Amino acid sequence: MAEAQATQQPQSMSQDSTDEAPAIAPSRRKRLLLILAVVTILGLAAWLAWYLLVGSTRVTTDNAYVGADVAQVTPLVAGAVTSVRVADTQPVRRGDILMTIDSADARIALATAQASLAQARQRYDQTAANNTALGATVAARDADISQSRAKLDAAAANLDRARIDLQRRQKLAPTGAVSGEELTSARSAFADATAAYAQAAADVRRAASTRTSAQGELAANRALTDGTTARSNPEVAAAQARLDQVRLDMERTVIRAPIDGIVARRNVQVGQRVAAGTPAMTIVPVGKAYVDANFKESQLAKVRVGQRAELVSDFYGDDVVFHGRIAGFAGGTGAAFSVIPAQNATGNWIKVVQRLPLRITLDPRELAAHPLRVGLSMDVTVHLDR
């Protein structure tokens, strides 16, 4: 009997525990679901609060890269490279010598140009001196004309006297008062006076013609010098210009850095012959770097020029934050300026969200403390509330 009672007691206890288990499980699930719902609601509320307070006031992108207006160094004269004084990654200052080109040809051209300028100046001085000589010649021709006219006047007087003598003797000849010999002499004297007058008139015309020729030579000579000086004379100025060009070519055999920056892509060696315009190296102005951030078109509704931006580079990590401002928007999307632009007007078309580059200028002091290099990727956050 005791054993039977003992057996019945455990069975009744086990039956009670199995009846309580189904009752406990639903209440636990309810609590878990309630906790999950509360956590979800709190998370959504937190996200909504973050979006309203922070997220809606900024746009971000990681499609951003460092750029700079690099300077392409190209020789302006042809020749053999005699020295290269810089190497890739080397910092240079504006005016530093980068390379030199053989200047032997330039020196010869310089000497030739100097000699040509000296000759041009001598020709100008000679022309100016000829003005004085030709002026004196014109004055001498004026004197010759005066002298010839005086002789013409004398010849005219002699001709009148001879004509009067001949006419008088011709009137007296019929009366016998004048012998035939005297009449013949008068006629001869008249003929000589006529010839002398004609010769004197020809001398006057010849002197006038000579004076006209001398005046033409003087005018032609003065045309080379009037209104000019030894410096402004066209021939002298042209020779001076050639000399200046040769001197400039001489200076261009020494190639200097046009800006401050870092040398990159150096592709010249000593002894190499380069032509004018051949790319020799590139200088990257790291102190004036900027960032081109490519935002989606759907992010740009509230973006304006001048808004503040914060940038983080993978190169330095999250510990270094750069600050900048939006300088401007690009004139078109990246797809619009691609080598093969999209032909959206033909065939099947699927809309793709485009990206528009924004130029962001950086703080020069931050760039000096943490220099960047062209092509580095950046994470950009633009604050829309400012």
Ranked by mean pLDDT, the top range of 28-37, 107-116, 201-210 is 107-116
Report all structural domains of the chain as residue ranges with CATH numbers, in order of start. 59-70+284-383 (2.40.30.170), 71-102+253-281 (2.40.50.100), 106-247 (1.10.287.620)
In this prediction the pTM is: 0.64
Q: In this structure, what is the dihedral angle of CA atoms 224, 227, 229, 231, given to the nearest 10 degrees?
A: -90
Across 25-34, 260-269, 367-376, least confident range: 25-34
Does residue 50 register a pLDDT over 80?
no
| Residue 150, token pair as written in the block | 């005086």
Q: How far is the C-alpha of 217 from the C-alpha of 220, rounded, in Å? A: 5
| Residue 129, token pair as written in the block | 């001196």
For residue 355, the cross-strand partners are: 296
Does residue 111 register a pLDDT over 50?
yes
Q: How far is the C-alpha of 17 from the C-alpha of 15, rounded, in Å? A: 6
Whether residue 367 contacts residue 289, with contact meaning beta carbons closer than 8 Å, is answered with yes
Whether residue 355 contacts residue 338, with contact meaning beta carbons closer than 8 Å, is answered with no
For residue 290, the cross-strand partners are: 67, 361
Mean pLDDT taken over the chain: 82
Q: How far is the C-alpha of 361 from the C-alpha of 338, rounded, in Å? A: 24
- pLDDT in the model for residue 380: 93
Does residue 178 register a pLDDT over 50?
yes
- pLDDT in the model for residue 5: 47
Does residue 65 register a pLDDT over 90?
yes
| Residue 292, token pair as written in the block | 């081109």
* DSSP 8-state class, residue 202: H
* DSSP 8-state class, residue 89: T
Give CA 164 to chain center in angstroms: 90
Mean predicted confidence (pLDDT) in 94-104: 94
The secondary structure of 12-71 as a DSSP string is HHHHHHHHHHHHHHHHHHHHHHHHHHHHHHHHHHHHHHHHHHTGGGEEEEEEEEEE---E
* DSSP 8-state class, residue 368: H
Does residue 99 register a pLDDT over 90?
yes
Going by C-alpha positions, the residue among 141, 263, 283, 279 that lies closest to residue 214 is: 141
Using one digit for the tens of pLDDT, what is the confidence trace for 210-253? 777 777 777 777 777 777 777 878 888 899 999 999 999 999 99
Whether residue 276 contacts residue 78, with contact meaning beta carbons closer than 8 Å, is answered with yes
| Residue 85, token pair as written in the block | 């004084």
